[in-house]
Chain A
Amino acid sequence: KQEVTQIPAALSVPEGENLVLNCSFTDSAIYNLQWFRQDPGKGLTSLLLIQSSQREQTSGRLNASLDKSSGRSTLYIAASQPGDSATYLCAVFSSGSARQLTFGSGTQLTVLP
């Protein structure tokens, strides 16, 4: 059974800092990994999708990496802004799963002005 863990559970940084969010998964047989952003009480916004054959994806100030063999992914946020404050969730789509995404519990990020 796939399990996804995100560390840290919460993170508070001053504006302008670069930061890294971590995600680990137990079963390396995945199709892809997706990072989402969730604002309080809202739905999920897709940030980056990494296919299993890829090592990283970039979008603006965001860069996500994937090391499938070690079961790890990181989300790097450059020059953080208060508007980046949200919960960040990673999710994996496993080749052996019953057609489901398996989510971590998220990292709650607060960027202080």
Chain B
Amino acid sequence: ETGVTQSPTHLIKTRGQQVTLRCSSQSGHNTVSWYQQALGQGPQFIFQYYREEENGRGNFPPRFSGLQFPNYSSELNVNALELDDSALYLCASSLPESLGGYTFGSGTRLTVV
């Protein structure tokens, strides 16, 4: 069974630019969540997608948006990048209600300069 894959692994962007991060979920998992992890902190929930619709959102502004595709892969888009957006962005896939737990990808390290 394949795990969760994320691309790219590293990215450097300039303040004000836009970025798209990609995630392929684990086989059989139809729910995808995105988390932001700042240095030295635990991951913070951004949002979750189930059946191509947003199914829950954390305390992040609207410039953080996402998509889920019919094959359950997902994108995270961030507009008008700020320096504080520099972080490790983690994608996790799961079954609904997460009774089986979450499987995380290796993350995308975003640096905003």
Interface residues of A (CB under 8 A from B): 4, 31-32, 34, 36, 41-46, 49, 51, 89, 91, 93, 97-106
List, in ascending order, chain A residues with CB within 8 A of B28's CB. Answer: none
The 7 closest A-B pairs by CB, nearest first: A103-B42, A99-B56, A100-B45, A43-B106, A98-B56, A44-B104, A49-B101
**Residues of B within 8 A of A (CB-CB), count:** 31
| Complex Cα–Cα for A51 and B35 (A) | 22
Known contacts A42-B107, A43-B104; 16 additional CB pairs below 8 A are A4-B42, A32-B99, A43-B106, A43-B107, A44-B43, A49-B101, A89-B43, A98-B48, A98-B57, A98-B58, A100-B45, A100-B58, A101-B33, A101-B35, A101-B92, A102-B45
Residue B40 is within 8 A (CB to CB) of chain A in the complex: yes
State whether A93 touches B98 (Cβ < 8 A). Answer: yes
B-side binding surface: helix, strand, loop or mixed? strand
Q: Which residues of A contact B79 (CB under 8 A)?
A: none
CB distance from B21 to the nearest CB of A (A): 13
Interface residue B84 (Cβ < 8 Å from any Cβ of A): no
Which of B42, B106, B109 contacts A105 (CB under 8 A)? B42
* Interface SS, A side: strand
Chain B window 77-112, contacts with chain A (Cβ cutoff 8 Å), 1 for yes, 0 for no: 000000000001010100001111111111101000
Is B71's CB within 8 Å of the partner chain A?
Answer: no
22 contacts between A and B (CB under 8 A): A32-B98, A32-B99, A36-B104, A41-B88, A41-B109, A43-B6, A44-B43, A44-B92, A46-B102, A46-B103, A46-B104, A49-B100, A51-B99, A98-B57, A99-B55, A100-B48, A100-B56, A103-B43, A103-B44, A104-B42, A105-B41, A106-B42
